[in-house]
A and B are shown apart, each in its own frame.
Chain A
Amino acid sequence: MIEVEKLSKRYDGRLVLDGIDATFAPGEMTALVGPSGGGKSTLLRCLNGLESFDAGVVRVGSDTLAPGDVRAQGEKVRSIRRRVGFVFQQWHLFAHRTALGNVTEAPMHVKGVGRKEALERGRELLEKVGLSHREDAYPSELSGGEQQRVAIARALAMEPEVLLLDEPTSALDPERVGGLIDVLEQLRSEGLTLVSVTHEMRFAQELASRVLVLYGGRIIEEGPPDRVLASPHHERTRAFLGLGRVAALRTMGA
Chain B
Amino acid sequence: MPACGAEQDSGLARVRRTGELRWGADAQGGEPYAMEDPDAPGGMRGFEVELAEALARELGVKARFVQNDWSNLIPSLERGGFDVALNGMEVTPARSGRILFTRPYYVFNLRLLARQDDAAVTGMAALRGQRVGTLANSLAWDLLQRSGVEAVPYEGVEEPYIDLEQGRVRAVLMDDIIAQRYGQVRPGLRLVGDVGEGYYAIAVRQGDEDLREALDAALGRIAHSGELRAIFQRWGIDSAAQQRMVDWTDAQTREVLSNTHTARMGWGQLVLFLQAAVVTLLVSAGAMVLAIPLGVGLALTRLYGPGWAGRLATAYVELFRGTPVLLQLYVLYYGLAGVLRLEPLSAAILGLGLNYAAYEAEVYRAGVLAVPRGQLEAAMALGMPLKLALRRVIMPQAFRVALPGVTNDFIALLKDSSLVSVISVVELTKRMTITAVDVRSWLIPGALCALLYLAMSYPLSRLARRLEARLERG
Contacts and interface: CB of A to CB of B under 8 A. Distances in A.
Interface in A39-94: 48, 50, 78-79, 81-82, 85-86, 88, 90-94
Nearest to A81: B383
A92 B375 CA distance: 6
A96 B396 contact: yes
B374 interface: yes
Interface in B453-474: 471, 473-474
B36 to A, nearest CB: 58
B377 interface: yes
Contacts of A140: 474
A50 B383 contact: no
B230 interface: no
Contacts of B372: 92, 95
A88 B382 contact: no
A154 interface: yes
A158 B383 CA distance: 9
**Residue with the greatest number of chain A CB neighbours at <10 A, chosen from B372, B383, B397, B473:** B383
A32 to B, nearest CB: 17
**Residue with the greatest number of chain A CB neighbours at <10 A, chosen from B374, B378, B471:** B378
Given A109-B388, A110-B388, A92 B377 contact: yes
A148 to B, nearest CB: 13
A95 B392 contact: no
A97 B381 contact: no
Contacts of B397: 94-96
A171 to B, nearest CB: 13
Nearest to B375: A92
A90 B383 contact: no
A91 B377 CA distance: 10
Contacts of A106: 382-384
Interface in B392-437: 392-393, 396-397, 400
Contacts of A82: 382-383
A116 B271 CA distance: 53
B276 to A, nearest CB: 40
B380 A81 contact: yes
Contacts of B393: 94, 96, 105
A138 B383 CA distance: 22
Nearest to B393: A94
A88 B299 CA distance: 28
Nearest to B473: A138
B5 interface: no
A220 B382 CA distance: 31
Contacts of B383: 78-79, 81-82, 106, 110, 158
**Residue with the greatest number of chain A CB neighbours at <10 A, chosen from B381, B388, B400:** B381
Nearest to B379: A94
A154 B375 contact: no
Contacts of A155: 381-382
Nearest to B474: A96
A90 B374 contact: yes
Interface size classification for chain A: 20 to 34
B380 A93 contact: no
Contacts of A96: 393, 396-397, 400, 471, 474
Contacts of B385: 78
A86 B382 CA distance: 8
B58 to A, nearest CB: 77
A66 B471 CA distance: 41
A109 B385 CA distance: 10
Nearest to A110: B383
Contacts of A48: 381
Nearest to A82: B383
B474 A50 contact: no
Contact of A94 (B378, B380, B473): B378
A92 B374 contact: yes
Contacts of B473: 138
Interface string B265-302: 00000000000000000000000000000000000000
Contact of B380 (A50, A95, A138, A158): A50
Contact of A138 (B377, B396, B474): B474
B382 A81 contact: yes
B374 A110 contact: no
Nearest to B382: A106
A110 B382 contact: yes
A94 B381 CA distance: 12
B306 to A, nearest CB: 12
Contacts of A138: 473-474
A98 to B, nearest CB: 8
Contacts of B375: 92, 94-95
A172 to B, nearest CB: 18
A197 to B, nearest CB: 15
Contacts of B382: 81-82, 85, 105-106, 110, 154-155, 158
A50 B377 contact: yes
B377 to A, nearest CB: 6
A107 B377 CA distance: 17
B392 A109 contact: yes
A239 B473 CA distance: 48
Given A90-B374, A105-B392, A81 B381 contact: yes
Contacts of A154: 382
Nearest to A89: B374
B474 A97 contact: yes
A50 B381 CA distance: 7
Nearest to B400: A96
Contacts of A92: 372, 374-375, 377-378
Contact of A86 (B381, B388, B396): B381
Contacts of B388: 109-110
Interface string A15-44: 000000000000000000000000000000
27 contacts: A48-B381, A50-B377, A78-B384, A81-B380, A81-B381, A81-B383, A82-B383, A85-B381, A86-B378, A88-B374, A88-B377, A90-B374, A91-B378, A92-B372, A92-B374, A92-B375, A92-B377, A93-B378, A95-B372, A95-B397, A105-B392, A106-B384, A109-B384, A110-B384, A110-B388, A138-B473, A140-B474
Given A81-B382, A88-B374, 18 more contacts: A79-B383, A81-B383, A82-B383, A90-B374, A91-B378, A92-B378, A94-B375, A96-B397, A96-B471, A105-B392, A106-B382, A106-B383, A106-B384, A109-B388, A110-B383, A110-B384, A140-B474, A155-B381
Closest 5 CB pairs of A and B: A82-B383, A92-B374, A92-B378, A106-B382, A81-B383
Interface of B: 372, 374-375, 377-385, 388, 392-393, 396-397, 400, 471, 473-474
